[in-house]
Amino acid sequence: MKLNILTLVAVCALAASAAMADKKATDTSPAEDLKVYRDYFQKRFPGIAINEFGNGSYALDAVARDNWLAIEEFPPYEPMIDAGESIWNKPFANGKSFATCFSDDPAQRQNFPYWDAKRKMVVTMELAINECLESNGEKPMGYNKGKIADLAAYMAYQSRGQKINVEVPDDAGALKAYNDGKSYYFTRRGQLNFSCAHCHMESAGMHIRSELLSPAIGQASGWPVYRAKWGELGTLHRRFGGCNEQVRAKKLKPQSEEYRNLEYFLTHMSNGIEYNGPSARK
Amino acid sequence: MRKTAKLATTALSLAALFTGASMAPSVAGAADDASIKMGKEVAYDRKKGNCLACHMMDDGASPGDIGPPLIAMKARFPDRAKLRAQVWNAMDNNPGTRMPAFGKYQALSEAEIDAIVDYLYTL
């Protein structure tokens, strides 16, 4: 059923605001974008401090926020942080460990995602985790949930308070990766024909059925997330897949080039906001 | 909620025009009620129209608020074809819309869309 999955507009249709309307992804620089997106959300939600956007929809609704704060008092992800710490400390068969790959410091969040100029690709923290395993003769982990999410939760927890500061260097490849992620965010897809921006820019703060839609800025700060609906931790790319399926689009493989570029764009959009993972969500 | 025979006939002939199907139920009023009932079911079904995701309508529980409330439809959409077109492909009317194109992308069948329009006219 080709018809169902397609409907991709070749050039992204930016529809979130007048300032973003009818522009191609390549028309504006990452720095200009950041300003436009921030201004857009700060006008839409006046009085909300920029760092608050890292709390997703809970930044926008006092009642939901209170319930959420109560949950965060006894966080459901606490045992997973401990499990992640054990994974961090457990030596590989060759005697080395994750500490060897990550300069002895689990507080790595602020170093990812980044553009690797030599390999010409975006490297995410989860990718670096599996590359560490493989380069030490160990088996890689599944990307959506489970052990990798536990380890990422421990690393994120150790990194809390670091400010997001994704740089898009002056490099044609880096800029293309960023723009590809940006186009992905603004392109309609799936049988229901929505872009990410239709829900998380134009409709942010509105309800889709009883779900309050979170704003695009800040969406990358709190991962991995413990979702009550999942009953466990999941990674950002798992969420991408879920949001693709909501519009009846095919989800992509976690850590595919498309999703890594999407993470690059989305995290850049959150620049200036603190990493605050792991988090709890509905 | 029965429509007058005249309205029902107009609706039916219009529906026939769109679907290319010939619908000639012996008792127009009864067929209409069935269609309205089906329209409501399809509109509420999360796997079908899921209109409640975005619209307040009728007695639907916890509706979203992305689209406008669907009320007084007959008064606001006297032209049935316009209303049907909004459901079939909302992008025709507004290219930037967030409303899915239920007909164009075959999320709903032509008959289901006709039934939804019958139902909308009762709101």
**Tens digits of per-residue pLDDT, B108-122?**
999 999 999 999 999
User: How far apart are the C-alpha atoms of B9 and B15, rounded to whole Å?
Assistant: 10
Distances, alpha carbon A167 to alpha carbons A31, A114, A125, in Å: 9, 7, 15
Chain centroid, CA A170 distance in Å = 23
Q: Is the pLDDT of residue A8 over 60?
A: no
User: How far apart are the C-alpha atoms of A126 and B89, rounded to whole Å?
Assistant: 40
B96 vs A7, A15, A210: nearest CB: A15
Q: Is the pLDDT of residue A196 over 80?
A: yes
Q: What is the mean pLDDT of chain A?
A: 91
Residue of A208, A210, A245 to mutate for B, most B C-beta atoms under 10 A: A208
Chain centroid, CA A165 distance in Å = 14
pLDDT band at B27 (very low <50, low <70, confident <90, very high): very low
CB contact under 8 A, B66 and A13: no
Residue range B95-119: average pLDDT?
A: 95
User: How far apart are the C-alpha atoms of A223 and A233, rounded to whole Å?
Assistant: 9
The closest alpha carbon to A218, from A147, A168, A260, A277, belongs to: A277
Minimal C-alpha gap between A33 and chain B (Å): 20
- Whether domain B29-120 has CATH 1.10.760.10: yes
Place of tokens 């809390």: A160
H helices, E strands: number in chain B: 6, 0
Return the percentage of chain A with pLDDT > 70, whole number. Answer: 92
Cβ–Cβ < 8 Å for A278, A177: no
Per CB-CB distance under 8 Å, the chain B contacts of A248 are 107
User: How far apart are the C-alpha atoms of B24 and B100, rounded to whole Å?
Assistant: 31
Q: Is the pLDDT of residue B102 over 50?
A: yes
Is B52 within 8 Å of chain A by CB?
yes
User: How far apart are the C-alpha atoms of A34 and A265, rounded to whole Å?
Assistant: 10
**Tens digits of per-residue pLDDT, A122-167?**
999 999 999 999 999 999 999 999 999 999 999 999 999 999 999 9
pLDDT band at A23 (very low <50, low <70, confident <90, very high): low
Minimal C-alpha gap between B72 and chain A (Å): 21
Minimal C-alpha gap between A246 and chain B (Å): 11
pLDDT band at A240 (very low <50, low <70, confident <90, very high): very high
The closest alpha carbon to A235, from A247, A227, A245, A225, belongs to: A225
Place of tokens 């107009």: B10
Residue A26 has what pLDDT?
Answer: 79
Cβ–Cβ < 8 Å for B102, B67: no
User: How far apart are the C-alpha atoms of B81 and A240, rounded to whole Å?
Assistant: 37
CB contact under 8 A, A192 and B54: no
- Please tell me the pTM assigned to this model: 0.86
Backbone angles phi, psi at A234, to 5 degrees: -140, 160
**Tens digits of per-residue pLDDT, B56-65?**
999 999 999 9
Per CB-CB distance under 8 Å, the chain A contacts of B65 are 206-207
Long-range contacts of B24-33 (CB under 8 A, 24+ apart): B29/B2, B29/B3, B29/B5, B32/B2, B32/B3, B32/B8, B32/B118, B33/B1, B33/B2
Q: Is A243 a catalytic residue?
A: yes
pLDDT band at A27 (very low <50, low <70, confident <90, very high): confident
> In B3-23, which positions are buried (b, 16+ CB within 10 angstroms) versus exposed (e)?
beeeebeebbeebeebeeeee
**Ranges of each domain in chain B:** 29-120
Q: What is the dihedral of CA A68, A70, A74, A75, to 10 degrees?
A: 10
**Tens digits of per-residue pLDDT, A244-255?**
999 999 999 999
**Tens digits of per-residue pLDDT, A49-102?**
999 999 999 999 999 999 999 999 899 999 999 999 999 999 999 999 999 999
Task: Scan residues 1-40 of A and list those with Cβ closer than 8 Å to B.
Answer: 3-4, 7, 13, 15, 21
Residue of A192, A200, A245 to mutate for B, most B C-beta atoms under 10 A: A192
pLDDT band at A25 (very low <50, low <70, confident <90, very high): confident
Is A201 within 8 Å of chain B by CB?
no
Residue A20 has what pLDDT?
Answer: 56
Residue B44 has what pLDDT?
Answer: 96
B65 vs A21, A206, A248: nearest CB: A206
- A127-141, A268-282, B27-41, B96-110: the lowest-pLDDT one: B27-41
Tokens of B54: 């975005």
User: How far apart are the C-alpha atoms of A163 and A264, rounded to whole Å?
Assistant: 15
Cβ–Cβ < 8 Å for A23, A14: yes
CB contact under 8 A, A198 and B98: yes
User: How far apart are the C-alpha atoms of A59 and A234, rounded to whole Å?
Assistant: 21
Cβ–Cβ < 8 Å for B105, A193: yes
Place of tokens 């560490």: A132
Contacts of A75 (CB under 8 A, 6+ apart): A226, A278, A280
Is B106 within 8 Å of chain A by CB?
yes
Q: Is the pLDDT of residue A15 over 90?
A: no
